[in-house]
Amino acid sequence: MNPHSARRHAAPTRPTRLAAVALACAAWTLAAPGLAQAQDPGGSAWTTPAALALPAQPLPATLAALSRRFGTSIGGEGALLEGKTAPALQGSMTLPQALERVLAGSGLRFVRSGTSAVTVLAAPAAGTATLATVTVAASTEPAPHELPAPAPGGQLARGAQIGMLGNRSLMETPFSVSAYTAQIIQDQQAKSLADVLANEASIRSDWSSRGGYSDNFILRGFQVNAGDVAFGGLFGIAPRTYIPIESIERVEVFRGVSALLNGVSPSGSLGGVINLVPKRAGDAPLSQITASYESGGYFAGHLDLGRRFGPDQALGLRLNAMAGQGGTATDRQHADVRSLSAGLDYRSPGVRLGADLGYLDRRTEASMRPAAIGAGLTRVPDAPRAGANFAQPWGFVELSSVHGMLRGEVDLSPRTTAYAAVGFRKNPTDLLVSIPTLTDANGNFTERNLNFFDDVDNQTAEAGLRAHFATGAVHHQLSASASMLWQERLNLTHTVSTPNSNLYQPTPLAPPDLSGYDTEPRLLSKQRLSGIAVADTLSFLDERLQLTLGVRFQRVVADGYNGQVPSVRNSTYGRSATTPAIALLVKPLSHLSLYANYIEGLSQGPTAPTGTTNAGEVFAPYVTRQYEVGAKLDTGQFTTTLGLFQMTQPSAFSTPGANGGLPSFGVDGEQRNRGVELSGFGELARGVRLQGGVMLLDAVLARTAGGTNQGKTAVGSPRTQINLGLEWDPAFAPGLTLSAGAVHTGAQYVNAANTLRIPAWSRLDLGVGYRTKMGGLPLVLRARMTNVADKSYWAAASPGLGALSVGAPRTLALSATVGF
């Protein structure tokens, strides 16, 4: 263990922070039942839907709750209601829709008496003449706070969170999204976010968090940094380099830029947004324990508990605890992981509150970093043997993270909801790592061994309002949001040694002596991101035509420091930008949606470097523009989506000066990514599930310095990416599930001149699961093998940098999950 790490990690005073946040969460949650519930007596309960979350309970209690929720008097003779039970109500519905469900099969009916009164009566006896029954179908569109239902097969959901718009059905969303459920996470024995997103055709991991050090991704050909993964819809909360997936209910992927919907991410990632939905207690009690093993000797245990409390089950608690230790499938590598998370929630018809608190401690020894491309390289060397480790055996990455979030929603009326959320993250990381730079085709590289400390602390907040109203025949869904993120980064870096080594025959070095190095981290940067946004979805023709208009005003403020003691600010950045968005959705058929959108993304603009004629000039934030059209078809059992997109991103470079003068720096370059995405998920037939997709990408350097590489293919942008996953429950063996997954990635250029590239690669994964009972308790046994052929390959080249990541070695994963 690094002798300095204990001192550095002691600084955040973890027990104090944990206790303080836990007390705050508990106090807020316990106080929730006392909050007033707003009413809107003047609202039209008959036509305006409201969000409901009522448990199964005596019928009079449900009728009283509906009366309060809709501001409508609901009455009936006590003798008629006595002894009857109402089913649970979950979803967005009008008062008639709610009463239809509540009274179904009860022998009762309801009639409207006046503008704000309902009477419950006995249903007419058989044979009595009655008017024709009018059936009112509830909308399949979830309320903005509701988790969309899983699609048939359970692997993906029917919708996802669309930033400030809240949760939306896939078929009602004019953007490209997908949401992976806890079922697919558990069935595939995912241990990291990268494992889950290995199902996504539009995403590739630029290095594996299993044998590497951080969760970073390439989405639609653009980088999405680990620090830009959202948690519960907010940036700056999820652990920055590695995310324990055991506490996550959904992994949502929003493909493409989204400044209006999500604001600017801390690192300015533009390819899309990855959002993590934390687990919540369900209506049924949950008690599960999972024991697992992976190749190399890695053993882990995971406990998952969920309970709801109170007479109306309004208060929920979800606990997840995980511990793992042992060798990995990568040579000489060892991992030690501990994580603990708690999710509290309170739900009532008019108030919903949630609190999350998480802790992570992870140490990986002999962790690998991507191999950079040296200036004199003429051919990319072959990838090392699958599972080979070319990092120094004494290297390590040791990180800890404490993160938390509070979120609350109050229905001010049946048509208006106000919400607010705050969150934080403390994420110190100690590293002693080898950073290789390839120098020739024989696999030789120079190695820079660094000992550094990095800590990025965040605080984030958001508040907003969502309202539904009508102006004549036009229905509006109005959303307004204000957000703020504060970030402070501490860093301390020492170069320990710079030896030479080889991919295939690494040169081991003696462990370095770190006792003489300074251990106090220095302030490196501060950043403040603030934004105000408003959007309105206008619906026409019974919501078959929907037009979304929106605009966000965003300000980016960043201060750079000299990295010394005392800290001196040596740069300041402060710029603003306004980004619009427009999206159209047309539903010619109930199961077919056509959409088009224009939306912009933002990232911090550059500052002209020293040595240029305009040194110190601060440029406005980069604006990435996206055009997209697509179609979505939902047959009920299977959903297919097709999208065509174009994204253009500015880039900066220096132009040589005249007569040997200083160069000038400007934002004059551009990268243009065009692509086609086809995806599908659901049940092909009873017991047969398919999920996967294809992305065809044409990423071009449209404008470059002096036109040198103009028209070349962008770095790290394969033309073809394919993912397919198939599961089959054979009828002849009840409880048995067989699965197979295939991944294909086309060849990638690793330099802008397109003289170096890595070949295409394909991988096959196989799995089996068996559901049974042991001693009356449910038991699920799973086995999965990744990279069955143990193929050696370069998996990805980082966009812009070209650094190469090795592919996953053959890995056998076994697990047993028992409920109790």
**Residue 242 tokens, joined:** 């590695």
Question: How far apart (Å, rounded) are the C-alpha atoms in residues 533 and 603?
Answer: 16
The least confident of 4-18, 195-209, 608-622 is 4-18
> Tell me: the pLDDT tens digits for 755-773?
999 999 999 999 999 999 9
Residue 32 has pLDDT above 60, yes or no: no
Contact 465, 479 (CB under 8 A): yes
CA distances from 15 to 9, 19, 461 (A): 12, 6, 24
The least confident of 141-145, 233-237, 430-434 is 141-145
Question: How far apart (Å, rounded) are the C-alpha atoms in residues 157 and 450?
Answer: 43
Question: How far apart (Å, rounded) are the C-alpha atoms in residues 671 and 703?
Answer: 7
DSSP, res 741: E
Opening angle at CA 538, ends 537 and 543, nearest 5: 105
- DSSP H or E run through 552: strand 545-561
pLDDT category at 12 given cuts 50, 70, 90 is: very low
pLDDT of residue 130: 42
Rounded to two decimals, the pTM is 0.82
CA distances from 282 to 161, 346, 359, 366, 582 (A): 19, 12, 22, 40, 36
pLDDT of residue 141: 61
Mean pLDDT confidence for 640-647: 97
> Tell me: the pLDDT tens digits for 325-369?
999 999 999 999 999 999 999 999 899 999 999 999 999 999 988
pLDDT of residue 31: 38
Which tops the pLDDT comparison, 307 or 59?
307
Q: What is the DSSP string of 692-734?
A: EEEEEEEEEEEE-GGGTTTTPBPTT--SEEEEEEEEE--TTST
Contact 630, 624 (CB under 8 A): no
The least confident of 426-440, 497-511, 796-810 is 796-810
| Of the ranges 29-38, 201-210, 448-457, 723-732, the best mean pLDDT one | 723-732
**Coil/strand/helix, residue 262:** helix
Question: How far apart (Å, rounded) are the C-alpha atoms in residues 406 and 615?
Answer: 43
pLDDT category at 802 given cuts 50, 70, 90 is: confident
Tell me the domains of the chain and their CATH numbers: 147-278 (2.170.130.10)
pLDDT category at 798 given cuts 50, 70, 90 is: confident
> Tell me: the pLDDT tens digits for 460-493?
999 999 999 999 999 999 999 999 999 999 999 8
Residue 394 has pLDDT above 70, yes or no: yes
Buried b (16+ CB within 10 A) or exposed e, 451-484: bbbbbbbbbbbbebbbbbeeeeeebebbbbbbbb
pLDDT category at 10 given cuts 50, 70, 90 is: very low
What percent of the chain has pLDDT above 70? 89
Paired sense of beta strands 757-758 and 748-749, if any: antiparallel
pLDDT category at 300 given cuts 50, 70, 90 is: very high
Mean pLDDT confidence for 743-763: 95
Residue 113 has pLDDT above 70, yes or no: no
Which tops the pLDDT comparison, 144 or 717?
717
Mean per-residue pLDDT over the chain, rounded: 87
pLDDT category at 669 given cuts 50, 70, 90 is: confident
pLDDT of residue 70: 77
Residue 49 has pLDDT above 50, yes or no: yes
**Residue 470 tokens, joined:** 């009508």
Whose structure tokens read 């995310």?
A: 243
Distance of CA 707 to the CA centre of its chain: 37
pLDDT of residue 603: 81
Residue 44 has pLDDT above 80, yes or no: no
CA distances from 768 to 738, 774, 784, 785, 811 (A): 5, 19, 6, 9, 14
